[in-house]
Structure 1
């Protein structure tokens, strides 16, 4: 508590505290949403399995407009990345040193998850567990990494996208939205693969709005921040989303539901971008009163505490579910009511509470790894900058490749370490190189 109070007292007067609140709320809502809609059953082999209950709850589809908060995370990510890059440059630092610091904040808790899972998988395999079962467990535990891979794609583009914003303003996210619409048309008329670029264009468009939000403080062409602008964005975004999901071809549900004619979230669709526009409008409407509330000591302390371990919470929340399912199954007390039944609804609260307790234990163990992430050493001298930048780019690409390769590997693949070996090797090599560049001789000034 003393450390939290020290951090609170050191908060700069001009900090946009709502950004930190939105990051924490977005992650907490994702975690609670995943837990609340889970339905547990047994497969043909008699092993526990889980799936989303959303296909059985069509009445809840409109509620996903509130539950889909990943755009909010990318929005505040764009703001935070632009702010940290600006501060780094003001201190005389370079973009490579900035990227190494940003990567460290994301990869330290991720490495803890992957190393723990790989070690546990190795023990299970040595004990005789089938490699396909080991892979299935690790696959479910690493589902959150698809989001991290998407976020890692947009982070290093921040310097270039900031420069583009200063030249072209809001034409940049509009242009990205047009590319997303083209991707949607492609997957509607042809192979699904034609929409794969939307993973980049869609999230980059929302991230760009965060950059525009930050640039509003510098005098550059910016996102209008008035309450009137917020009302226009909220009404326009909601109206467009309603049209696209009723008259248009997009489904109402904003989360993944197998069998829908289009998936609004994976990859992001034009309908998701219009919903994100409405979310930006709502944020602008509540900005001033929320900022005043966050200048109170108690709520700001809570926000700081959650943000110190927010990625740990996100990365481990499905592992908590796997551990709870395994424990209840082992003692013969695993509840498996049909999704949407009275027993299923009645079990939501105790299920979430048990998971919250278990996740709290995991955060207590692994959270300090994220919380201890600090700033790297000084930036490299100019003569070594090109070598350091090249190594950083190669290592960063290796990490992104590893996360994507894991997400695309079948959950039934026989993987004794739970993770594809090439992906695990690439991740360890990439993350290790980034750490050495940040803390070793490669980052000394």
Structure 2
């Protein structure tokens, strides 16, 4: 608690605390949503099984408009990425060192999850558990990694996409939305693979809106009669209540029209539906994102006032310190609880939608919270190492030891108004900087490849390590290369 009070007291006055609150709320809602719709049953052999209850709950489809909060995470990710990239450049760093620092926060807790799953799967396989069952359990535990794969594609594109944003402003997400609509048309007419680029275009569009929000906060408008630098208004997100109300009502109206037509109502995956609005992102998901953004803007001022109080802000800091750990391990918590209850002969399997099933939601979520809290207590420190002290150390190493230590990751105005280094300028000698950038790109590509291979491998595949061996090797190679670069390898002569 003392540490939290110190961090809260040192928070810069210009920090947009609301962004941190939204990140925490988004992940908590994802966790609670997954837990709430879990339908636990038994296969013909008596083994526990799990699936989504949504196909049996059509009345709940409109509720997914609130439960689908991945766009919120990409929105605040765009804000935070733009802010931290700007601050890094202002301090004399380059895009590669910034990217290595961002990767550390994402990959350390992910590596811990994958290594634990692989080790546990190896032990189970040696103990005689079938490779298919091992893969099934590991498949459920690694479901959260599909989102991380998408985010790890978007983050390395931030320097280039932010440059486009500074040049063309809100035209960039609008163009990306048109491309998403074209992908949806291809998905409708076939083949479905024509919509695969929407995984990139859709999430990039939301990420770009985060850039516009950050610019509106970092460059607040002055007096109504003050001169406005050319192009500034074009890349700002309007933050007024009027703008929020317009986005909310317009986004809702568009979403209603689209879901009354070719798009399904549910914004989460429902097995058997004609298409999935979120995988890949559809135009309907983007119109819903517009509505969510409008609501976010309407609540911004009262939320910021509330977060000026010490205790709420300390709670937000505490959650954000382990937010990725919470997300990565929440389905593992469900697996452990189901296994424990089944072993004790106390696993309830009421029919989905029944009164007993609905009543079981409360103790189910409470018990899962306890199990997840224990997992976070064990693995949270891995993510916490990338807090203010850890990030400062990584920045010094990634910059070759010459960059000054920075404070907490910025989400507000940059501290230094100095001239930023160009995003493409490497640190150190030209060839060494180019090689460093190439290895960084290859490292991220290997990690994304590994996560995609794992997601695409069927849950019934015989995998004694739980995760496909090729995917695990690619991930460790990519993450290891990025770790070497963060330690300063390739930055010194």
TM range (shorter): over 0.9
Aligned residue in 1 for 2:236: 222
Is the Cα contact below 8 Å between 1:108 and 1:369 reproduced in 2? yes
2:355 alignment partner in structure 1: 342
In 1, the alpha carbon distance for the partners of 2:173 and 2:45 equals 48
Alignment pair present for 1:74 and 2:122:
no
Map 1:236-255; keep pairs closer than 5 Å.
236-246=250-260, 248-255=261-268
- The 1-side partners of 2:299 and 2:253 are apart by 20
Q: CA deviation at 1:42?
A: 1.1
1:259 & 1:196 partners in 2: Cα distance? Answer: 19
Contact 1:97 1:443 in 2 (8 A): no
Rounded to whole Å, the distance in 1 between the matches of 2:4 and 2:34 is 29
Does 2:479 align with 1:431?
Answer: yes
- Matched-pair contact (CA < 8 Å) for 1:395–1:434: yes
Partner of 2:454: 406
- 1:386 deviates by 1.0
Residue number in structure 2 paired with 1:351:
364
Confirm or deny: 8 A CA contact 2:244 2:293 kept in the other structure. yes
Aligned to 1:50, the other structure's residue is in SS state strand
Following superposition, the deviation at residue 167 of structure 1 comes to 1.0
Offset of residue 45 of structure 1: 3.0
Secondary structure of the structure 1 residue equivalent to 2:277: coil
Tell me whether 43-52 or 263-272 shows the greater mean CA deviation: 43-52
Contact 1:113 1:315 (C-alpha < 8 Å) held by counterparts: yes
Name the counterpart of 1:259: 272
Deviation at 1:143, TM superposition (A): 0.0
Aligned positions of 1:43-442 closer than 5 A: 43-216=43-216, 217-218=218-219, 220=232, 221-246=235-260, 248-373=261-386, 374-375=390-391, 376-378=394-396, 379-380=399-400, 381-383=427-429, 384-442=432-490
**1:198: how far off?**
0.7
* 2:403 paired residue number: none
| SS in structure 2 at match of 1:243 | helix
**Number of aligned positions between the proteins:** 444
TM-score by length of 1: 0.98
Which whole-Å deviations, capped at 9, do the CAs of 1:49-76 have from their partners, x for residues lacking one? 1001111111111111111111000000
How far apart, CA to CA, are the structure 2 residues paired with 1:185 and 1:238? Answer: 21
Cα displacement string for residues 256-277 of structure 1 (whole angstroms, at most 9, x for unaligned residues): 0011122111111000000000
Separation in structure 2 between the aligned mates of residue 434 and residue 103 of structure 1, nearest angstrom:
8
Give the Å deviation of 1:444: 5.6
- Deviation of residue 442 (structure 1)? 3.0
Distance, in Å, in 1 between the alignment partners of 2:36 and 2:87 is: 40
- Please state whether the residue corresponding to 1:249 is helix, strand or coil: coil
CA distance in 2, matches of 1:245, 1:411: 31
Deviations 1:121-180 (A, max 9, x none): 000000000001000000000000000001111001111111111111111000000010
Kept after mapping to 1: 8 A contact 2:433/2:491: no
User: Which one has a larger percent helix, Structure 1 or Structure 2?
Assistant: 1
Runs of 4+ in 1 over 2 A off after TM superposition: 217-221, 440-445
Q: Is the 8 A contact 1:377 1:439 kept in 2?
A: no
RMSD (Å) for aligned C-alpha atoms: 1.1
TM-score for the superposition, normalised by structure 2:
0.89
Q: 2: CA distance between counterparts of 1:68 and 1:41?
A: 25
Runs (5+) with no aligned partner, structure 2: 220-228, 401-426
8 Å contact 1:131–1:416 — kept in the other structure?
A: yes
State how far apart, in whole Å, the 1-side matches of 2:317 and 2:395 are. Answer: 24
CA distance in 1, matches of 2:6, 2:492: 28
Matched-pair contact (CA < 8 Å) for 1:229–1:281: yes
Q: In the alignment, is the contact (CA less than 8 A) between 1:26 and 1:73 conserved in 2? A: yes
Find the aligned partners of 1:441 and 1:431 in 2 and give their Cα distance: 14
